[in-house]
Amino acid sequence: MLVILHPNTKESSREYKHTWDHLEGLEDIRLKKHKVQGKGQNLTEIYLIGSTKKVNLEEIESLPAVERVVRISHDFRILGRHSQETESIDFEYNGIRFNQDCLHIFAGLCAVDNHKNVKLMMKALQKEGQQCTRMGAYKPRTNPYSFQGHGKSCLNYVFELAGAYDIKVIAMEVTHESHIEEINESLEKLGQPTGVILQIGTRNTQNFELLKAVGRQHIYPVLLKRGFGISLNESLNAAEYLASEGNNQVIFCLRGMKTSFNSPHRNMVDFAHLPIVKRLTKMPVCIDPSHSVGTREISPDGILDVLHSTAQGIVAGANMVLVDFHPSPKEALVDGPQALHLNELGKFIDDVNISREAYKKRVDLWSK
C-alpha cells in the first residue's frame, strides 16, 4: 500500500507526526519512507509493507497529512505508475531537467581512448549547442583480453574538458562501487566542472550488490540499461533495487535484446517497448540505437539503419538518446564500426528534431 502525503509536507509539522505515529501503530506493518522531487514541489510517499489487506483504506485517507492512498497491485512499488498517478519522475541535475516529457541527446565516445579525441568530441558538441555527452571510462567486456577502459586515469582530463566546453552532464558507466568514489574524488578535486549520470550497463543489470551501492548514493542520477537476456519485468525490478535504496532519479534505457532473430543487426531493436515502460513506470526512457543496431549499414533510401532506429524511438516518445560518435571510428578502441562521424553530428541532431516534432504532432492529434 502506498500512502501519498500532501505536497511539501514537513516532517516537523503536527500533521506529519500524527500521521506517522498512526501508521507506525499498525499491526504487522513496517514503513518505508521515500521522497520524490516533482515539478515545483516535493512529495513524501510512505510504503506500508506487510499484510495490508486488513488495513482500513478510509481510515488512512482521513489522516491529516494524507492526500491519497493507493493499493499497489504490481512489483514496481516506488518507480511504478499506480492507479490515477499521472506525473512522471521529474528532477533537475546540474541545470538539465529529466522527465517523461524532455528529450536530451547524449552523443559521445563509447570508450575514452585519448585526450585528443575527447577534446574533438566536446568541441563538436559545443558547436552544435549540446550540453550532454557519453564517455566510457570503465568498460566491462565479454572478452577478458579486450580493452576495458582507462578507468581512473582518464577522469581528470575528461571532466576538465567537459567544463571547458560547457558540457553539463556526462553519462558514464560504473562496474564497481569503487568507481563511484573515484568519480567523486576527481570532480571534487577539479571543483565540480561538470556532472555525471552513473550508467549501469546491460551486463550488470542484475548485479544486485552494485545496484544497492549505486542506489545508496544520492549525489548522482542513474541510467540503467535493460538486461540483454532477461525479460522487461526483470529489468524494471532491477530499477526498483536502485529506488528501494533511496535514489529514485533513475532513467531506464532500452538498448536491444540478444536473440537468435537479431541478424543482421547486433541486437533485436526493442524500442516498441518504450511506451510500455512509460505506462508501467514513472521513469524517463532512453534509447541506445548504437548498441541495438551495431552497424553503419545504409538503407536504399540513403539513411543509415541506426538513424532509422533512432527515429523509431523518438517518434515513440524517447526522453534521451545515447549514441556513439567518434572523431576517427577506425581507430576507436571499442565499437568503432558502429560509431557515427563527427561531421554527421549536425545532421543527426536535425534528424532527431524532425522525429521529435512528429511525436509532438502525434500526441496533439490523439489528445483531441
pLDDT tens digit sequence for 39-71 = 667 888 888 888 788 888 899 999 999 998 887
Helices (H) then strands (E): counts for the chain: 11, 15
Higher pLDDT: 122 or 35? It is 122
- How far apart CA 57 and CA 39 sit, in angstroms, is 28
Total number of residues shown for the chain: 368
pLDDT score, position 281: 94
User: What's the pLDDT tens digit per position in 201-220?
Assistant: 999 999 999 999 999 999 99
| Residue ranges of the chain that CATH labels 3.30.70.1140 | 2-70
Residue 85's pLDDT band (cuts 50, 70, 90): low
> Is the pLDDT score of 184 beyond 80?
yes
User: What's the pLDDT tens digit per position in 304-317?
Assistant: 999 999 999 999 99
Q: Name the average pLDDT for the chain.
A: 92
> Is the pLDDT score of 124 beyond 90?
yes
Q: Is the peptide bond before 193 cis (omega within 30 degrees of 0)?
A: no
| Residue ranges of the chain that CATH labels 3.20.20.70 | 91-367
pTM of the model: 0.87
Average pLDDT over residues 136-158: 91
Q: What does DSSP say about strands 132-134 and 104-108: parallel, antiparallel, or unpaired?
A: unpaired
Average pLDDT over residues 63-83: 80
Calculate the CA 13 to chain-centre distance: 34
CATH code for the domain defined by 2-70: 3.30.70.1140
pLDDT score, position 267: 81
Query: Would you say 170 and 196 are in contact if contact means Cβ atoms under 8 Å apart?
Result: yes
Residue 141's pLDDT band (cuts 50, 70, 90): confident
Rounded to 5°, the CA angle 363-317-132 comes to 130
Exposed/middle/buried for residue 184 (C-beta within 10 Å: 0-12, 13-18, 19+):
middle
> Is the pLDDT score of 268 beyond 70?
yes
Q: What is the CA radius of gyration of the chain?
A: 22
What fold is seen in the domain 91-367?
A: TIM Barrel (3.20.20)
